[in-house]
Homo-oligomer: A and B are copies of this chain.
C-alpha cells in the first residue's frame, strides 16, 4: 500500500484479474494505450508487489471432484503450539484449498476441502483432519451450488 495508481492502472488490474491470458496488445487496446507503456505499467505493478501471481483455474466437475466441504474447526486450547502444528498439517494436505483463522464464538478455523465424493471426505476427516492434536470440534457443511466464485478483488475504492 504505497504506490498511487491512476485510472489506467486500475483498469489494467481489473482486466488481468479477469483474464491473465490477454496479450499485451489486447490489454493495451482495452485500456486505451499503446503496447509499450502498457507493458511498462504491468511490469511496474508486478515489481510493486500489487500483482501477486498468475494461476490457471481448473474445472472441478471435469476432474471428478464432486464434493466441496466447508468445515468449521474448534481447538481445545488456544496456544501457539496448537496452532502451529495444526497449520503446518493443513498446509500439507492437497485437499485443503483454504484455511482461515477467524474471530467468532463458533469456531477457530474455516477450512474448505475438495474431494471426489463423500466416502473420500469421510476418510479425510477421520483419517487426517480430526487426527491433528488439538482439534476438538468439527462441523461440516457441503456445497450444493456455487453461486459466485471470483478470484477478483474489488478495486472501486481506488478511483
Contacts and interface: CB of A to CB of B under 8 A. Distances in A.
How many copies altogether? 2
A91 interface: yes
Interface residues of A, number: 71
Interface string A17-60: 11111000000000000000000000000001111111111111
Interface string A81-95: 000000100110011
Contact of A1 (B63, B115, B154): B63
A147 B99 contact: yes
24 contacts: A13-B58, A16-B55, A20-B21, A49-B59, A51-B58, A51-B59, A54-B54, A55-B57, A63-B153, A65-B154, A68-B100, A70-B110, A91-B147, A97-B150, A97-B152, A98-B146, A99-B146, A99-B147, A101-B147, A102-B141, A102-B143, A110-B141, A114-B154, A116-B157
